[in-house]
Structure 1
Amino acid sequence: MIYITQFIFIKPGKEEVFHQFEELAIPLMKKYNGRLIYRLRPGTDSFVVTEEEQPYEIHFVSFASENDLESFMGDEDRLKFMHLKEESIKWTLLVKGEKM
C-alpha cells in the first residue's frame, strides 16, 4: 500500500478551475485501487507555524501499489483534462510513504 500526502497551491482566482479538475480526477482513482482518505481545505487559523505559503488543499490518498498509482497518472481520460490542472495549480508538494 502506498500513501501520498499532497499539498496543493492554487493560482490566484483559479479555484473554480481547480474544482473542475478535481471533480473529474478524484472519481478515476477508484478504477486504479486508489482512495481519497482525507481532503482538507485548511483556513489560515489552522496553521500554528508556517515558514512558507499555505496550501489551498491537502490530500491524503492511498493506492494498492506503485503500479496502480502510475496507471492512474497515465490514464487517458485523466490526461484529457490535465489542462485544467495546469491552468489552476501553481505548484504541489508530494510526499510518498507507507503505513508504519
Structure 2
Amino acid sequence: MIWLTQLIYIKEGEERTFDDFEAVAIPLIAKHRGKLLMRYRPSPEDVIDGTLEKPYEIHVVTFDDDADLQAFFRDEERKKMLHLKEQSVREVVLIKGSKV
C-alpha cells in the first residue's frame, strides 16, 4: 500500500478554481483503487510550531500499489482538468511512503 501526503499551496484568489479541479480529481481516486483518507484545510491556530508555511490544504491518500497511482495520474478525465490545477496551485509538496 502506498501512502501519499500532499501539502497544497494555492495562488491567492484561486480557491474556487482549485475547488473546481478537486471536484473532478477526488472522485477519480476511488476509480483507481485509491482512498481519500483526509482532506484538511488548516487554520492558523491549528499550527503548534514549525517553520513550514501553512498549506491551503493537506490531503492524505492511499493506493493499493504504484500501478494504481500511475493510472490515476494518467486518467484522461483528470488530464482534461489539469489546466485548473495549473491555474490555481502555486506548489505541492508530495510525501510518499508506507505504513510502518
TM-score (norm 1): 0.97
Structure 2 residues not aligned, in runs of 5+: none
How far apart, CA to CA, are the structure 2 residues paired with 1:53 and 1:10? 12
SS of 1:7's partner is strand
After superposition, residues 56-95 of structure 1 pair within 5 angstroms as: 56-95=56-95
- What's the CA shift for 1:50? 2.9
CA offsets, 1:42-98, max 9 Å, x none? 000000113132100000000000000001001111000000000000000000010
TM-score (norm 2): 0.97
How far apart, CA to CA, are the structure 1 residues paired with 2:23 and 2:47? 27
Structure 1 residues not aligned, in runs of 5+: none
What is the RMSD of the two structures over their aligned residues, measured on CA atoms?
A: 0.7
SS of 1:19's partner is helix
- Percent identity of paired positions between Structure 1 and Structure 2: 46
After superposition, residues 34-53 of structure 1 pair within 5 angstroms as: 34-53=34-53
Residue in 2 aligned with 1:98?
A: 98
How far apart, CA to CA, are the structure 1 residues paired with 2:50 and 2:42? 13
SS of 2:50's partner is coil
- The AA in structure 1 aligned to 2:73 is M
